[in-house]
């Protein structure tokens, strides 16, 4: 048994606590005012540190699959190194691979490959034209229009017909409408080719489908202000929908990016205007957004120069959280969107993954909470210890980041995964 003491942030409170955990099982045993004398505390963190339950990213592209075709961009182990570098203890990998996981057999082959990341990586299954649900409960991802990879829909009719087979399932949507994208395909710039209208139209359709088929919906990497109004209205009607936002959509906007940098900032959906960024920040602040998720999407520098969409984000997660704290976003909110909500998302599929796990790794009650029975995963930040993002500090294979040169107000102090100091 080990004892750790730190100022702990949960969605309910920020308070100095002691945590007793078992480094063999990797599980938390007790949390609170345990009255362990200072001399017997194994890990003591002073008031300059802030501890959260291990943070999690519900949207990444680790690139590895059975074909191995994209492992030169990233693989499960390099993604895990970048996650740890950014203070992340678990992440959900998207299915837009050369061999997408769309049925039991392809999902299980990818699951077995991902085992090398010790269950820190978990998988979405893909939905494509005429796919059907797996026989056990997993999270699904649907690309409403073309982005990266071949797994996407070209029209609403096929999407509607396919989703009619997924009633009650957890479905995350990439909201860009294929017909709006097609209509703007000859525009001069990336953000004009993928306008806000594409997201707004797709949001309206996604909300309609979530309602129609009783889905538990999540809208990925939300980027613009218009659709937020539609989401608000749908929630008032009882539509079950949550939202992700990326660090890059909260930090950058077209008004502050010089034209020469636009290519390296290219992603789908694009970086938007200042008023979109402000709308996302206030939606995050008032609790309308549930997940801070990176959409870590590595491509090589050469591919980026040719105009491939996708930005990295794992390495800079912790630093970015300190920027949000510095902007006045409360630690309780950060605990919710970086640890507890991603934990809840992950934990609802735990039984399926335990069943598939040939190593029978014990994840207890799961991740994301400073409570007995959950994994002893801790992300400890130093909110007032500035650090500049430089290439030598990145662990992603592709060695670039939209935040290169940015000095965040704080940094990662320490990370624990399954009771082990990383
Ligand atoms: O910019 C993006 N890149 N958006 C996506 O939807 C996919 C991602 C990727 O896989 O590279």
Q: What is the pLDDT at residue 260?
A: 84
Does the beta carbon of 147 sit less than 6 angstroms from any atom of ligand 1?
yes
Whose CA is closest to atom 3 on ligand 1? Answer: 310
Q: Which of 101, 109, 81, 12 is nearest to 296 (CA)?
A: 81
Q: What is the pLDDT at residue 259?
A: 84
Positions in the chain short of pLDDT 70? none
Q: Return mean pLDDT, the chain.
A: 98
Tell how far the Cα of 93 is from the centroid of ligand 1, in angstroms: 12
Tell how far the Cα of 147 is from the centroid of ligand 1, in angstroms: 6
203-230 residue pLDDT tens: 999 999 999 999 999 999 999 999 999 9
Q: What is the pLDDT at residue 263?
A: 87
37 Ramachandran zone, left/alpha/beta (phi>0; psi -120 to 50): beta
63 Ramachandran zone, left/alpha/beta (phi>0; psi -120 to 50): left
134-182 residue pLDDT tens: 999 999 999 999 999 999 999 999 999 999 999 999 999 999 999 999 9
Cis peptide before 269 (omega within 30 of 0): yes
35 Ramachandran zone, left/alpha/beta (phi>0; psi -120 to 50): left
| pTM for this entry | 0.98
Tell how far the Cα of 191 is from the centroid of ligand 1, in angstroms: 14
Whose CA is closest to atom 4 on ligand 1? Answer: 268
Give strand pairing partners of 91.
57, 121
Tell how far the Cα of 190 is from the centroid of ligand 1, in angstroms: 13
Does the beta carbon of 268 sit less than 6 angstroms from any atom of ligand 1?
yes
Does the beta carbon of 83 sit less than 6 angstroms from any atom of ligand 1?
no
Neighbours of 373 (CB within 10 A): 11
Q: Which domains, and CATH codes, for the chain? A: 55-354 (3.20.20.140)
Tell how far the Cα of 267 is from the centroid of ligand 1, in angstroms: 6
Choice from 96, 221, 313 to test ligand 1 binding pocket (greatest atom count within 8 A of CB): 96
Q: What is the pLDDT at residue 262?
A: 87
Question: Which atom of ligand 1 has the smallest separation from the CA of 149?
Answer: 10
**DSSP strand pairing (2-9 vs 43-44):** parallel
């Amino acid at each position: 048994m080990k004892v750790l003491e730190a100022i702990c942030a949960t969605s309910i409170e920020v308070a100095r606590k002691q945590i007793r955990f078992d480094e063999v099982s990797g599980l938390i045993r007790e949390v609170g005012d345990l009255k362990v004398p200072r001399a017997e505390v194994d890990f003591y963190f002073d008031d300059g540190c802030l501890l959260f339950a291990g943070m999690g990213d519900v949207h990444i592209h680790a690139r590895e699959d059975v074909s191995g075709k994209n492992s030169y961009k990233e693989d499960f182990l390099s993604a895990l190194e970048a996650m740890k570098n950014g203070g992340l203890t678990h992440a959900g990998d998207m299915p837009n691979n050369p061999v997408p996981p769309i049925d039991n057999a392809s999902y299980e082959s990818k699951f077995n490959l991902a085992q090398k990341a010790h269950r820190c990586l978990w998988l979405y299954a893909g939905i494509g034209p005429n796919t059907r649900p797996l026989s056990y409960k997993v999270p699904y991802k649907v690309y409403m229009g073309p982005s990266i990879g071949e797994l996407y829909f070209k029209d609403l009719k096929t999407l509607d017909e396919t989703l009619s087979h997924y009633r009650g399932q957890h479905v995350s949507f990439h909201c860009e409408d294929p017909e709006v994208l097609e209509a703007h395909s000859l525009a001069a710039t990336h953000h004009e080719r993928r306008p806000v209208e594409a997201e707004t139209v797709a949001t309206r359709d996604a909300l309609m489908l979530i309602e129609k088929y009783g889905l538990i919906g999540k809208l990925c990497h939300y980027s613009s202000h218009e659709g937020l109004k539609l989401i608000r209205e749908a929630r008032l009607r009882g539509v079950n929908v949550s939202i992700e936002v990326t660090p890059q959509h909260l930090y950058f906007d077209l008004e502050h990016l010089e034209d020469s940098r636009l290519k390296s900032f290219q992603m789908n959906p694009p970086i938007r205007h200042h008023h979109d960024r402000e709308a996302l920040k206030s939606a995050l602040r008032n609790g309308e957004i549930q997940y801070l998720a990176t959409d870590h999407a590595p491509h090589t520098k050469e591919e980026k120069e040719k105009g491939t969409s996708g930005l990295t984000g794992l390495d800079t997660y912790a630093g970015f959280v300190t920027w949000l704290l510095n902007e006045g976003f409360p630690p309780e909110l950060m605990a919710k969107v970086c640890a507890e909500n991603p934990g809840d998302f992950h934990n609802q599929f735990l039984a399926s993954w335990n069943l598939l796990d040939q190593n029978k790794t014990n994840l207890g009650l799961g991740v994301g909470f400073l409570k007995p029975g959950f994994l002893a995963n801790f992300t400890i930040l130093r909110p007032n210890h500035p650090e500049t993002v430089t290439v030598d500090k990145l662990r992603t294979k592709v060695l670039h980041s939209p935040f290169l040169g940015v000095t965040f107000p704080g940094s990662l102090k320490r990370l624990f995964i399954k009771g082990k100091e990383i």
